[in-house]
A and B are shown apart, each in its own frame.
Chain A
Amino acid sequence: MPEPEIAITLEEFRARAALTGLPLTEEDIGHLHKGYAGLLALMQRIPDQWAWAAEPPHVFRADE
Chain B
Amino acid sequence: MTDLTTLGIADAGRMMARGALSSSALTDAFLARIASLDGKLSSFITVTAERARAAAVQADTERRRGFTRGPLHGIPIALKDIYETEGVLTTGHSHLLADYVPAIDAETVRRLKAGGAVILGKLATHEFANGAMTPDQPFPAARNPWNLDYQPGGSSSGSGAAVAAALCMGAMGSDTGGSIRNPAGFCGTAGLKPTYGLVSRCGIYPLSFSLDTAGPLTWTVEDSALMLDVLAGHDPNDQASARAPKVDYGASAHRPIEGMRIALARHWYDGITPDMDKGIDEAVRVLRDLGAIVEEVVFPDIRDYHICGRVIITAEAHAIHRREVIETPEKFGYTTRRRFQLGAFLSAEQYLSALRFRRQLQVDTRAAMRGYDLVMTANQWGAPETFEEPQPIFHFLGKPSLTMPFNVTGQPALTVCCGFGGDGFPLAFQLAGRPFDEASVLAAGAAYERATSWRGRRPKL
Contacts and interface: CB of A to CB of B under 8 A. Distances in A.
Contact of A57 (B338, B355, B396): B355
Interface in A16-41: 16-17, 20-24, 28, 31-32, 34-36, 38-39
Chain A interface main SS type:
loop
Interface stretch (B151-159, B219-227, B346-354): B346-354
B353 A31 contact: no
B344 A22 contact: yes
Contact of A39 (B239, B344, B396): B396
A60 B197 CA distance: 11
B342 A32 contact: yes
Interface string A44-64: 011110100011110111011
A50 B359 CA distance: 12
B338 A21 contact: no
A55 B310 CA distance: 20
Given A4-B397, A22-B325, A59-B210, A47 B353 contact: yes
Nearest to B303: A45
Interface residues on B, range: 35 or more
Contacts of A50: 353, 356
Contact of A32 (B243, B306, B341, B357): B341
B399 interface: yes
Given A21-B326, A54-B359, A42 B396 contact: yes
| Residue among B342, B345, B357, B394 with the highest chain A CB neighbour number at 10 A | B345
B359 A35 contact: no
B287 to A, nearest CB: 31
A24 B340 CA distance: 12
A29 to B, nearest CB: 10
How many A residues are at the interface, by size bracket?
20 to 34
A39 B342 contact: yes
Contacts of B307: 39, 42-43, 45-46
Given A1-B399, A20-B345, A31-B338, A42 B356 contact: no
A20 B398 contact: no
Contact of A60 (B239, B350, B360, B396): B239
Given A16-B345, A56-B358, A59-B240, A46 B353 contact: yes
A46 B308 contact: yes
Given A46-B311, A57-B355, A61-B242, A38 B338 contact: no
A17 to B, nearest CB: 8
Contact of B338 (A35, A43, A54): A35
Nearest to B345: A36
Contacts of A42: 303, 306-307, 310, 396-397
B342 A46 contact: no
B393 interface: yes
Nearest to B335: A31
B310 A28 contact: no
Nearest to A42: B307
A52 to B, nearest CB: 11
Interface of A: 1, 4, 13, 16-17, 20-24, 28, 31-32, 34-36, 38-39, 42-43, 45-48, 50, 54-57, 59-61, 63-64
Closest 8 CB pairs of A and B: A56-B355, A35-B394, A20-B344, A42-B307, A38-B397, A54-B356, A46-B357, A31-B393
Interface of B: 209-210, 239-240, 242-243, 301, 303-304, 306-308, 310-311, 314, 325-326, 329, 337-338, 341-342, 344-346, 349-350, 352-360, 362, 393-394, 396-399
27 contacts: A1-B398, A20-B345, A22-B326, A24-B341, A28-B341, A31-B393, A32-B342, A34-B394, A35-B342, A35-B394, A38-B394, A39-B307, A39-B314, A39-B394, A43-B311, A45-B301, A45-B303, A45-B307, A46-B307, A46-B354, A47-B360, A48-B353, A50-B356, A59-B210, A59-B240, A60-B239, A63-B243
